[in-house]
Amino acid sequence: MLKRISVLMLAGFTAMAVAGCGSGGGGGGGAITMGFSQVGAESGWRTANTKSVQDSAKSAGITLKFSDAQQKQENQIKAIRSYIQQKVDVIAFSPVVESGWDTVLKEAKDAKIPVILTDRAVDSKDTSLYKTFLGSDFVEEGRKAGKWLVDEYKSSTDPVKIVELQGTTGSAPANDRKAGFQEVIKAEPKFQIVASQTGDFTRAKGKEVMEAFLKSTPDIDVLYAHNDDMGLGAIEAIEGAGKVPGKDIKIITVDAVKDGMQALADGKINYIVECSPLLGPQLMDLAKKVVKNETVPTRVITQETAFNQEQAKAALPKRQY
Ligand code: GYE
């Protein structure tokens, strides 16, 4: 829209007339339209992220075109193509998997529409295909999970049997949370990942896969789940098998959404690494800058922490999501 307005200005419209058709809001130079392609609604994290993006667009005066890809890359590619056709000012998206984006990102670049990656990364070699990447350091999250485990078992020499519930296959958080965790635990051979499978970041799959793990793998000591939702599903499976989550099987998850934090406070989860979904305000700031062609950092990392039971109890009353 900004481009169209500047063409009008060139055509000799007065500044006041331009402001009149600038459709309200927008930082000074007319409203910005953002096309946003969301992964889906697979988890509590995602729901909070969607709300953050929608609320912040509203308060930033940015017109948001929003689409939910239902965890399918083809739907995201379709949505991005439609945003290109609609000539939005900026495209933001959270790529469901890392690979396979070059073609559509080139199309956006050729149409001179800036792209912002939010939450998840792509593995494109050509980094000129997007302006910036806003989100967490998932490798570091995996390391934090691993460090807690190393500390928890520091006085034991017995083997520690770990099962892992991975996030969506091929997604940045699944790849990186696995890698960061492994990097830390591999120093001590007593830590053994005895089973590892995707639960697609959902509660239902987390439960289903944990049920299978419990049948196939005797004496599981630890569950590492790449998000709270899969951990919460797994808790149901563990209880269903007559075991006590948090005691018979120690549980580490990532995200720290309210339901996860409640389970941690109740002693059913033992440790949660935080991953903040509240990316909306920073995303809107970056969008305003890239639309004005201002330079932005190529990587913006979210600040995060981790919680044990006591810290979860203290944080819960003020938890926003
Ligand atoms: O951890 C998980 C969600 O990409 C960081 O996606 C996000 C992850 C989050 O479904 O719950």
43 pocket-lining for ligand 1 (C-beta < 6 Å)? yes
- If pLDDT is split at 50, 70 and 90, which confidence band does 27 have? very low
**Pocket of ligand 1, candidates 96, 205, 255: which has the most ligand atoms within 8 Å of its Cβ, to mutate?**
255
Q: pLDDT, tens digit, for every residue of 247-294? A: 999 999 999 999 999 999 999 999 999 999 999 999 999 999 999 999
Which atom, in ligand 1's list, is nearest to the CA of 138? 5
Q: Cα–Cα distance between 184 and 126 in angstroms, integer?
A: 30
How far, in Å, are 4, 54, 186 from residue 17 at the CA level? 14, 29, 65
Q: Cα–Cα distance between 139 and 179 in angstroms, integer?
A: 6
Q: From ligand 1's centre to the CA of 140, what distance in Å?
A: 15
Q: From ligand 1's centre to the CA of 142, what distance in Å?
A: 13
Write out the two tokens for 99. Answer: 């690979």
Which atom, in ligand 1's list, is nearest to the CA of 172? 4
Q: From ligand 1's centre to the CA of 172, what distance in Å?
A: 9
Q: Is the alpha carbon torsion for 5, 10, 15, 21 positive or negative?
A: negative
What is the tally of helices (H) and strands (E) in the chain?
12, 12
b/e string for 183-222 if b means 16 or more Cβ within 10 A?
A: ebbeeeeebebbbebbbbbbbebbbbbbbebbeeeeebbb
119 pocket-lining for ligand 1 (C-beta < 6 Å)? yes
Task: Give the DSSP H/E element, type plus range, for residue 67.
Answer: strand 62-68
Q: pLDDT, tens digit, for every residue of 78-130? A: 999 999 999 999 999 999 999 999 999 999 999 999 999 999 999 999 999 99
Work out the number of other CB atoms within 10 angstroms of the CB of residue 90.
Answer: 26
What is the set of domains in the chain, with CATH numbers?
A: 2-136+277-303 (3.40.50.2300), 138-275 (3.40.50.2300)
Write out the two tokens for 5. Answer: 């307005």
201 pocket-lining for ligand 1 (C-beta < 6 Å)? yes
214 dihedral zone (left: phi>0; alpha: psi -120 to 50; beta): alpha
Owner of token pair 């609609």 = 86
User: What is residue 108's predicted lDDT score, i.e. its pLDDT?
Assistant: 98
Which atom, in ligand 1's list, is nearest to the CA of 171? 4
Average pLDDT value for residue range 171-185 = 98
- Between CA 168 and CA 166, with CA 283 as vertex, the angle to 5 degrees is 15
**Pocket of ligand 1, candidates 275, 283, 301, 321: which has the most ligand atoms within 8 Å of its Cβ, to mutate?**
275
User: What is residue 12's predicted lDDT score, i.e. its pLDDT?
Assistant: 36
What is the four-CA torsion angle of 315, 145, 207, 164, rounded to 10 degrees? Answer: 180
